[in-house]
């Protein structure tokens, strides 16, 4: 299997995980709570819980959040500790704004139905969009990047509006993604030799990563939401760094992490603390 095929296979497996999830029961949220709505970068489930979400019986597994999706609570828990607020986790692997899996506006609906997203909610954090890019790029007939960016911008704005309707008093934060590609726009998907990440010249992520960033910035500005830039804190920790915060597809030399093509524990905690400011 080529590295290009590997990245598609890994991403598709995670995207499909958001389809069959249980519906949470209604509960009363703590006044002034924060609600985190996002994709697998924020959900970050361990393999056992991820498989349990898929209906595979795993003894001792099954940590599910308010959306009925698997998570290790590392992002939401770190955010809660840093901001000293109660956080309700409605993240889900495979979530997107408009493409596959469960959409972020549906997760917002689940949060509303569960009683977590309401007029007393102080803050809502949105992290998504990556799953709205690669399906349109890594295929035989890719869409132009400006089209992908514009479609994503519209979808983010729609989600912001829905969140604001459910939680009119909440500050809404749209998070950008941490730095993934290096200065040349490339990534390192195969990392097995200490100190020598293997740069893959066939997958060029710089253009789409920049479009993803702009879509978040523009949608936040258009809808009077806050945009949180995670690029500065993650500079020097891109996927081709020896101190990377984003693991490759096959990666035995990155720091501890739960999933391929996802953040290390240290990286996820670092960006959560920045997002909580």
The rounded distance, in Å, linking the Cα atoms of 228 and 165 is 21
Collect the ranges in the chain with pLDDT lower than 50: 1-9, 11-26
Structural domain contains residue 108: yes
The rounded distance, in Å, linking the Cα atoms of 114 and 130 is 26
Q: Domain limits at 149?
A: 3-172+206-228
Residue 111, domain CATH: 3.40.50
The structural domain count of the chain equals 1
Task: Yes or no: say if 18 and 94 are a contact pair by the CB < 8 Å rule.
Answer: yes
Confidence at residue 27, expressed as pLDDT on a 0 to 100 scale:
56
Structural domain contains residue 266: no
The rounded distance, in Å, linking the Cα atoms of 192 and 15 is 26
Structural domain contains residue 46: yes
Which run of H or E residues covers position 172?
strand 171-175
Cβ within 8 Å of residue 142, ≥6 positions away: 136
Tokens of 184: 């040349």
Structural domain contains residue 20: yes
Confidence at residue 254, expressed as pLDDT on a 0 to 100 scale:
96
Confidence at residue 50, expressed as pLDDT on a 0 to 100 scale:
83
Confidence at residue 202, expressed as pLDDT on a 0 to 100 scale:
76
Structural domain contains residue 274: no
Structural domain contains residue 88: yes
Alpha carbon 19 to chain centroid distance?
Answer: 16
Structural domain contains residue 273: no
Structural domain contains residue 236: no
């Amino acid at each position: 299997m080529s590295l290009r095929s590997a990245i598609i296979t890994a991403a598709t497996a995670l995207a499909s995980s958001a389809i069959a999830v249980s519906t949470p029961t209604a509960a009363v949220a703590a006044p002034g709570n924060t609600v985190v709505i996002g994709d697998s970068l924020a959900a970050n489930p361990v393999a056992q819980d991820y498989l349990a979400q898929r209906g595979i019986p795993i003894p001792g597994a099954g940590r599910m959040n308010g959306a009925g999706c698997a998570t290790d609570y590392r992002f939401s828990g770190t955010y809660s500790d840093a901001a000293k607020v109660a956080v309700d986790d409605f993240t889900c692997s495979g979530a997107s704004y408009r493409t596959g899996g469960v959409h972020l506006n549906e997760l917002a609906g689940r949060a509303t139905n569960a009683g977590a997203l309401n007029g007393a909610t102080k803050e809502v954090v949105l992290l998504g969009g990556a799953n709205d890019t690669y399906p349109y790029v890594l295929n035989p007939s890719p869409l132009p990047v400006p089209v992908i960016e514009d479609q994503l911008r519209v979808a983010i704005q729609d989600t912001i509006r829905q969140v604001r309707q459910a939680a009119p008093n909440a500050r809404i934060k749209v998070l950008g993604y941490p730095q993934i590609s290096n200065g040349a726009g490339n990534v390192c998907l195969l990392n097995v030799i200490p100190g020598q990440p293997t740069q893959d010249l066939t997958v060029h992520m710089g253009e789409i990563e920049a479009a993803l960033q702009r879509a978040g910035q523009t949608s936040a500005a258009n809808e009077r939401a806050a945009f949180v830039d995670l690029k500065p804190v993650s500079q020097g920790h891109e996927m081709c760094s020896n101190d990377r915060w984003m693991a490759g597809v096959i990666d035995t030399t990155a720091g501890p992490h739960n999933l391929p093509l996802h953040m290390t524990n240290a990286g996820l905690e670092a960006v959560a603390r920045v997002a909580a400011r």
